[in-house]
Structure 1
């Protein structure tokens, strides 16, 4: 483990992950945490974890970012004390507006709702629910959250507490407080990397043109099976009705 990204989602973590990949780091973000370590995270959420758990989970990974890893940045750093810590930050008003919009889109986005009709998509929705509960202390019953309990007061409180705790407790010599709008220079200087001769990347949770992952492949296969079964059931139903008419 070389870098622990401790910043909340919607503070530029997806953009930073893309930048770190450009710098040849292997990065695990939310989908990777779910895909590779769902069972371990369920144990951590329900029963607690240990330093050895984090060592086993991430010993061969360069960077962890996004939920739920940033909630446990301190424990992960104890497992990998030589790792550097990046606290991504953003104007609080802008962050809160963006976070509320993200959660609204998750509740209403057709792709996310449809994905929950597959076994792996449903498991992902439960994983997201556990992460939000740990992050904000609010239970969101995805994908059927018609009356969300995530509000501005809850979000601001959790954002401030998390940011301040990290600022006060992360080793100062290993910490970079970073805004992705500042681009390559402070990031590369902190990591001891040459500045790439290319534009700083931009990425977004819901609109990533390069989204490719084993989870997506599995989800697509399962949804095709679900659609096929629905077609068969509907066809069988139509045939049964037709036969009864004669």
Structure 2
């Protein structure tokens, strides 16, 4: 593994996925790969086992991948940091209010619409496998968020404490902290390569996410 991304989703992870590939650290695993990726049939059963608390061989789980960002892997950051001790660790962060609003308008909105049967089928859009909904529920909603997403004050504390816990756990020389707007340079420095002259990728904003899952864009 060339990079272990340990920050939550909705912090620019789709842009990071593309950027890491552009810097030579791909292919990079991301939640989207369990929805519509070419390897989803191979990869999803591992994450079902992980969400069920079963032991796995992390080298086997990530066979064929060189990096990871986003959930579900970020929920198992401690295990991954330990399993790949030579890999640099990327802590992708965002200010809390923007992050919380993005989660509410994307992953939370999709979850509620799916539960209410309001996601209209679309032949041009791949639907998440039923097993993936369970993985997301166990690792994110009941795992990281402990069933308390609507408690904004608790979520703020949890979010800040997760970041501080990672900072306290991962040696500084191994850790790169990156936020939206930092662009190429911290990632290039982490990997020991030159930063490209091209604009940094800007992918999968809130409305892109909503439309992709069959929800209306926000005004």
- The TM tier, using the shorter chain, reads 0.7 to 0.9
Q: Tell me the TM-score normalised to structure 2 length.
A: 0.78
* C-alpha distance in structure 1 between counterparts of 2:192 and 2:12, whole Å: 21
* Residue 31 of structure 2: aligned partner: 30
CA drift at 1:169: 0.1
The answer on whether the counterparts of 1:115 and 1:121 sit within 8 Å (CA) in structure 2 is: no
Larger RCO of the pair (alpha carbons < 8 Å, separation 6+): 2
Change (3 A) 1:198 1:172: same
Q: Tell me the TM-score normalised to structure 1 length.
A: 0.70
* Residue 5 of structure 1: aligned partner: 5
- 1:148-200 CA-to-partner distances (Å, cap 9, x unmatched) read x5342343233123211111101211100111301111221121111112100
The answer on whether the counterparts of 1:10 and 1:99 sit within 8 Å (CA) in structure 2 is: yes
* Max Rg structure: 1
Change (3 A) 1:44 1:125: closer
Written as runs of structure 1 = structure 2, the 5 A alignment for 1:206-245 is: 207=208
* C-alpha distance in structure 1 between counterparts of 2:204 and 2:134, whole Å: 22
* Residue 170 of structure 2: aligned partner: 170
Instruction: Please point out which of 113, 131, 138 is paired with 2:139.
Output: 131
- Report the aligned-residue RMSD: 2.9
* Residue 221 of structure 1: aligned partner: none
Instruction: Give the length in aligned residue pairs.
Output: 198
* C-alpha distance in structure 2 between counterparts of 1:153 and 1:111, whole Å: 30
* Residue 86 of structure 1: aligned partner: 90
**Which runs of 5 or more residues in structure 2 are unaligned?**
214-219
Moved over 3 A (4+): 108-112, 118-121
Structure showing the higher helix proportion among its residues: 1
* C-alpha distance in structure 2 between counterparts of 1:9 and 1:119, whole Å: 19
Q: Secondary structure at the match of 1:114?
A: coil
Change (3 A) 1:59 1:135: same
**Which runs of 5 or more residues in structure 1 are unaligned?**
140-148, 217-246
